[in-house]
Structure 1
Amino acid sequence: MSHLDPEIEQRIDGPVSSEAVRETRMTPAEAIEGMRIRFPERGNRKLRRVIDRANADAQLKAWWHVSNVNAVARMQINDHSWVHIQVVVNIALKLLRQLTKHGVEPSAVRDYGLTNEDSEVIVVLSALMHCVGMSVHRRGHEDFSLFLSEPKMRDLLDGIYDEPERTVVISEVLQAITSHRSDGEPLALEAGILRVADALDMAKGRSRIPFEAGSVSMHSLSAAAIEEVTIEDGDERPVKIGILMNNSSGLFQVDGLLKAKLRGSGLEPYVEVIAHIDTENEKRLVSVYRLDL
């Protein structure tokens, strides 16, 4: 997934499925030791301070670890480790920067007179916090994420934002967190970006854990079919999302799951999605598929 941004590698230390499982067998101290979120900061000093604090926060990392234990070891569903967090951070930033590059105004700028850099802080914080509630339970994890993350964000933003801007930033992050659920209704561009970015972490292993554990279903088969996701300038719209699949079962991920997250996100006017099937071993029923938004 390096195509998302040449400055950062999204997946690290090998296939995420094996990495996510290995992490669940460590002690908590061992598991959080190597966690470090990286992304291209591009001169955004507020964002740099936020991520430095997050990378030094053992409680936040512990939430990521427990979330992954619940997801992978106990429920045998897809990865919710810190690697997932890193991927979503980078996808979300890439989407936001692609949109602002083409003149799309973030909601924080339009509605509050903040800056594009402040919108980046909102997007990154929402990605960092969006599934910490999985440390409590899968069911209702978005709501658990809200009450865990609110006081944590006040600590992370202390001295970076004064009131009332700090409460504005935190409120926008909380909206993004609650709106990333399947029936969420994003009210801001930044919230829609998190919703789509979370759905786009589908390549190179994240959702392959159930399949590798022997669960064969349309969900597990289609997840295993996704090879690569790219984000670049669109031909007709500001953003083109390219999805490379090794077989046509991956269309379920695209048409069944990604479409549901894109619809209602607020990103529909700005995004085009094109899926390609690249294989010599399958009779090609579809070679190129364009998602109708």
Structure 2
Amino acid sequence: MVQANAIILYFIYLVFIMYIIFLNYSKTKRLKKMNETFLMIIHDIKNYSANIDAAGQFLLAKAYKENNSSMVKHLNIIANNIKEMNGLMESYSKSIKLAETTKENINEAEVVSLVNEAVKLCTFYARRKNITIEVDSPWSDRIVKLDKSKFIRILSNLIMNAVKYSDENGKVLISIYQDGNFINVSIEDNGKGMSENELRNVFKKYYRAEDSVDSNEINLGIGLYGSRKLARSMGGEILVESTEGKGSIFTLRIPIKASPMFSFLGIPIVLKKKDKSKPA
């Protein structure tokens, strides 16, 4: 009888331990998801911050030239606050992990307009290095179905990356074209390119390129990793080719028409209909 009671108590103890483990696992999973989303937001804020800083530096140079001491004072306050904000974001990001964002919000959109919108987000950052951003497209009003917010986030990350690793007075060329049932957007820069080791690791989480161009910039090492995750959540992909000393080409591939996405063992499955339309 005593032995039976001991076995029952032991069983209840095991069930209780398993229940506690389950609760902690569920809580940890929820917290991880929140942290991953937060880190994606931090990276996007970093891009906007870079543009604000570039615009401020442009105005600061003008204020110095015009000997406007009041404007110089206020612009320096802005610059210092941006620096503090960037440092705060970097400290918050150190212990946060990034994972795939899967929520979709698909609507019809004009692809060239979305590309131009992403370019505008990077204009001041490019101007600081006197880099020209050109868009080449066979269409002026090509309508596609996609998640506009994700599309712009991916492109702005890729464009910012191209500008960052381009030489001063260089050019970033964005080409839009159709490849079967996909819309391709290629971002080509004339920067230093990547070594074979960098190409193998460029999409890895937290990877930072060898000999980064600006050690003072925040570099969370998540831009390309996060962009590829977003692209895959849309049923697409990001491809890269690079020649060391000549530059790199990142190509975003997005399905022209996609049904709601399913997944099997974490692998996205997109059901597509044949698109008979051709570029004008």
* TM-score, shorter chain, exceeding 0.5: no
Give TM-score scaled by structure 2 length: 0.30
Give TM-score scaled by structure 1 length: 0.29
Q: Which has the higher strand share?
A: 2
